[in-house]
Structure 1
Amino acid sequence: MDPATTTAPMQNDCETEPSSVWSWWPSWRPTSMSLLKTTESKILACIQNDLWARFVTLPSQDRIWTLTLTNKVVRKPAAPKTPLVMVHGFGGGVGLWIRNLDALSRSRPVYAFDLLGFGRSSRPSFPSDAAKAEEQFVNSIEQWRQSVGLENMILLGHSLGGYLATSYAIQYPSRVSHLILVDPWGFPERPQAQTDGNGSQGTEVVKRPSVPRWVKAIAAVVSLFNPLAVIRAAGPWGPGLVNRFRPDFKRKFEDLFDDDTMTQYIYHCNAQTPSGEVGFRAMSESLGWAKRPMLQRVHLLPPSMPLTMLYGERSWVDSSSGESVVQIRDRAYTRVLLVNEASHHVYADQPEVFNRVVENICNSVN
C-alpha cells in the first residue's frame, strides 16, 4: 500500500453527530474510522495483485478513498487497456469487491472507490432535494475522474452505484466506453394505486388487502429517520444486529474469513455519521423507489454507448426494468443477463460467473 495510506491523518477518527442532542452516540457505539480502517485492511490483505490505496482529494477538499489494482505479473501491453471503475451500492464500500478485484485486474487496471458519504470517504452534508443530492454524487465522481486522470473508463455500478453510474454516463457520455449495471436500484417508476370509484365496467382492478393502520404508523415513524439509523441506535448491540439480520454476508465470504470480518466491515461502514445515507434518503421514496426513476431518463444515454445489465435470479430487484431499457433504447446495444443462484449481491453470490461476464465485456472494449 502507498505509505501515505498509513501516515496521512485519518479523517473523522473522532466522529460527532451534527446535533448536540446525539453527542453521546459515538462513545456508546463501538465504532470509529480507525476500526473501519483496521477491518478493511484485513479484507484487502487477501489481494494478490499490486494494490495502491489512497485518498483522492477533490477540489471541494472532500476525499474519496480509492483502490487501484494492476497485475504484477503481466508487463504493460503496448496499447494501454481501458480501466474498469467499480462503484458499490448503498451501505457498501470497496471491501465488498474482494471476490472480484484480483480476477478483474488480470488484464487491465481496476479502480474501486468509496462513494462520497460512504465507507472511508469524506462525509459532507447532502441537500434534501432529490435532484441536487444526485448531482452532488455525480459531480464527486467526475471530480474524482479528473483528479485520478482517467480519460475514459468501463463504468460498473451495483445497486445505488448503478443508478449513479447511469446518471454519470448521461452527463459525461464521452468518458464511458461501456456501462455495466449490476442489479441497479431506482429504475422502475413507483406503481400507482388503481382506483375504481365509479365501478366502471371493462376495467379489471386487483383488490389487495389494505395495510393495517399500525403498519402505516410504524412506516411513518421510520420514514423520519435515515435508513440505517437503527444500527447506530443499537449502540453496543449494533454489530450483533448486523450479524443477526445479515447472516448472508458472513456466508458469502466464509471461505475467505471464518469469523465476523465481513459483517464487522458492514457495521463499521454504516455506524459512522450518516452522510451519503442522507443523500440516498433525499433521492428515494418510501419502500425504496427513486423519486426520479431512471427509466424516465435512460433514453438520454447515447445510442453509441454499449450497456449491459446483470440481475440476480433471486434478487429483490425486478429484472423487468432491464427489458424496459432494451425497448426504450431500441437499436442501441443493450444486453440483459440473469445470473442463476444469485441474489442482489451478484458479485459475491456467483463471483466466477460475474468475473467472467465482466471480463468478457472489458475484452470487447479492448
Structure 2
Amino acid sequence: MQNVHSCVSLRSLRAEGVVRPAALRICSRREKETCIQNVLEHIQGKYYFQWGAVKSANIMRRMSEDIQPGGDRSSWISSWLPTWCPTSPSQLRNAEEKMLKTVQRPYSRQHVRISNGNNLWTIAFSTHLLPSCPAQSKTPLVLLHGFGGGLALWAQNLDAFSSRGPVYALDLLGFGRSSRPQFSTDPGEAEEQFVTALEEWREKVGLEEMMLLGHNLGGYLAAAYTLKHPSRVKHLLLVEPWGFPARPDNPNHYSIPVWIRAMGAIMSPFNPLAGLRLAGPLGPMLVQTIRSDFKQKYSSVLDDNTVSDYIYHLNAQTPSGETAFKNMTIPYGWAKRPMLERIHQVQAHIPISFIYGSRSSIDSKSGCALKETRPDVGITVIRGAGHYVFADQPEDFNQTVLQILARAEEKQS
C-alpha cells in the first residue's frame, strides 16, 4: 500500500464517480484503507453481483479467431486507470479462455459490431454468427449475465443448453470484453443504451426471435428489451432478477448497521466496485478472499483460482457498465425505475418464467406479485441454490431451463 496518494490520481478518482475527490484527503492513510476494506467486505462480500431487493441487514467449433474491433474508440480506457492495477484486456481474454476450456461442445466467437463503433463480445453454438446461416429448428437461447459478470460464468450451463439448439452468450455493453463506452447519467437513457445495443446485436447476428434469459441485471435488461421489442422474444426467463420491486416508503433503515450506513455515505460518490480497483495489486487477493465461494461453485470443473482471476479482470478495468448501473440505482441497490411497475405491460402472448434459489437473499415476491395479475407466470425455486443458482446447482438449473423451453415450444407449436 506504499505511496497510495501518488498511485491514485484525481483523474482516476473522478472516473470512479467521485463527486468531491478532495474529501479523501481529509482522512488519514489508515482511515482510507479501513474504509475501503470495510466497504469491500460488506458490499462485495455480501452484495457483490447481488444488487436488488435484498433482505435487510443481508460461453460449430472453436474455429473463429478473435475478431478485434477496428479503431480503438476506447483508447482512453487505460488513460485514467491506476497504473498499479494488475489487469489488461489480454489478461481478461486469457482468464475467459481458461474458464471456457471446461466447455466441451464446439462454439464460435466474435466481436459483433453495433453502432457508434461499439461491439458486443459473443460466443455462439450451432451457428457461425452470420445472418446467412441456415435457419435452425429451435428458437435460439440468448444469455445475459448479471452485474459485474461476463459470458464465461455460464461455463457450467453452455453444454447442456447447446444440446437443445442454438445458444448465444454475450457480454453486455460496458462489461466483460464488449466495448465500454460512456453511458448517460440519466437512468432511463442508460437503460435505453443497453436495450438499443441488444437490439442492434440481434439485427447484426440475424435472429428473428429468441428465448431471452437474464440473470440479475441481465434479467432487468431482458425485461426492458421485451417491453420495447416484444415481437423478438418468444419466452422471457428471469433468473434472480435485479431491480424489480420499488424501494419501500419506509425501508427498515435502522436494521442496517450504523457503520455500514456511515461507510455507504462516505463511499456513495464511488462506483460500486471502486474499492477493487483502488486496492491496486491487492485486488486479485481480495477477490480470492472475499468471494472464495466462487471457487466452490465451479469446483467440479475448475480446481484453481481461474474463476477469481476472471472476476477480477472483469471488474478491474474501465467501470463503464458499472457506472451506468450506479446511475440506475438508489441506496442500497434499489432500482430508480423498478421493473415491477412496468413488466405487466409485456404482451400477454409472451410467457414469463422466474427462477430463484432457495438460499438467495433475493426472494420470490416479485414473481409472485406478477403471477397474481398474470396467472400463467411460472415460478421455480431451486433447492440449495443461492443468488448464483446457475453455478450453485448447475444440473438442476440446466434441467429446469430445458424443461421450461421444451414446454414453451410445445405450446407454441
Structures share a fold, TM > 0.5?
yes
1:216: how far off? 3.4
Aligned counterparts of 1:2 and 1:177: Cα–Cα separation in 2? 30
Match of 2:195 in 1: 138
Q: Distance in 2 between matches of 1:67 and 1:284?
A: 29
Contact 1:13 1:32 in 2 (8 A): no
- 1:353 corresponds to which residue? 396
2: CA distance, partners of 1:146 / 1:50? 24
Residue 168 of structure 1 is matched in structure 2 by 225
1:76-99 superposed Cα distances (whole Å, 9 cap, x missing partner): 999611000000000000110000
| Offset at residue 208 of structure 1 (A) | 5.0
Partner of 1:159: 216
Q: 1:244 to 1:362 in 2, by over 3 A?
A: same
Q: Does 1:64 align with 2:115?
A: no
Q: Conserved in 1, the CA contact under 8 Å of 2:64 and 2:109? A: no
CA distance, structure 2, for counterparts of residue 293 and residue 347 of structure 1: 24
Is the 2:157–2:390 Cα contact (8 Å) retained in structure 1? yes
Give the TM-score taking structure 1 as reference length: 0.88
Structure 2 residue aligned with 1:341:
384
Which amino acid in the other structure matches residue 147 of structure 2? F
Question: Distance in 2 between the 1:149 and 1:141 partners?
Answer: 12
2:183 counterpart (100, 108, 126) = 126
Kindly indicate whether the alpha-carbon contact (under 8 Å) linking 2:64 and 2:108 is maintained by their aligned counterparts in 1: no
Mark the CA change 1:216 to 1:354 in structure 2 (over 3 Å): closer, same or farther: closer
| Partners of 2:153 and 2:77 in 1: CA distance | 26
The whole-number CA distance in structure 2 between the counterparts of 1:328 and 1:266 is 38
8 Å contact kept, 1:346–1:354:
yes
Tell me the residue number matched to 1:51. Answer: 107
- Of residues 167, 172, 177 in structure 2, which corresponds to 1:115? 172
Tell me the residue number matched to 1:87.
144
1:284 and 2:329 aligned: yes
Instruction: Indicate conservation of the 8 Å contact 1:29/1:271, yes or no.
Output: yes
Runs of 5+ unmatched residues, structure 2 = 1-61, 128-132
Sequence identity of aligned pairs in percent?
47
- What is the CA RMSD across the aligned residues, in angstroms? 2.4
1:304 aligned counterpart, secondary structure = coil
Q: Which residue of 1 aligns with 2:66?
A: 5
Deviation at 1:210, TM superposition (A): 8.2
Equivalent residue number for residue 203 of structure 1:
none
Question: Does the CA-based 8 Å contact 1:183-1:317 persist in structure 2?
Answer: yes
Residue 194 of structure 2 aligns to a residue in which SS? helix
Contact 2:238–2:355 (8 Å) recurs in 1: yes
Partner secondary structure for residue 133 of structure 1: helix
The CA distance in 2 between the partners of 1:6 and 1:59, in whole Å, is 16
| Partners of 2:330 and 2:336 within 8 A in 1 | yes
CA deviation digits over 1:294-348, x for unaligned, max 9? 110011111111111000111111211110010132x4x2011111000000000
Residue 14 (structure 1) shift: 7.0
User: Which of structure 1's runs of 4+ aligned residues deviate more than 6 A?
Assistant: 6-10, 12-15, 76-79
- SS of residue in 1 equivalent to 2:115: coil
Note the C-alpha offset of 1:362: 1.8
1:323-342 correspondence to structure 2 within 5 Å = 323-329=368-374, 331=375, 333-342=376-385
Is the CA contact (8 Å cut-off) linking 1:15 and 1:32 kept in structure 2?
A: no
Question: For 1:17-56, what aligned pairs fall within 5 Å after superposition?
Answer: 22=80, 25=82, 27-56=83-112
Alignment check: 8 A CA contact 1:177 1:306 kept: yes
In structure 1, how many angstroms separate the alpha carbons of the residues matched to 2:75 and 2:313? Answer: 13
1:237 corresponds to = 282
Match in the other structure for 2:363: 318
SS at match of 2:204: helix
Q: Deviations over 1:182-237 (max 9, x none)?
A: 0000011111118xxxxxxxxxxx9956863x543321121110001011001000
- Structure 1 pair 302–32 and aligned structure 2 pair: CA distance change class (3 A): same
1:218 counterpart residue number = 263
What corresponds to 1:362 in structure 2? 405
Offset of residue 246 of structure 1: 0.5
Cα separation, 2, equivalents of 1:272 and 1:78? 38
Higher mean alpha-carbon deviation, 78-87 vs 311-320, is at: 78-87
CA distance in 1, matches of 2:395, 2:373: 31
| 1:193 alignment counterpart | 250
Q: Is the 8 A contact 2:174 2:322 kept in 1?
A: yes
The alpha carbon displacement at 1:13 in A equals 9.4
Shift of 1:286: 1.1
Q: Which residue of 2 aligns with 1:297?
A: 342
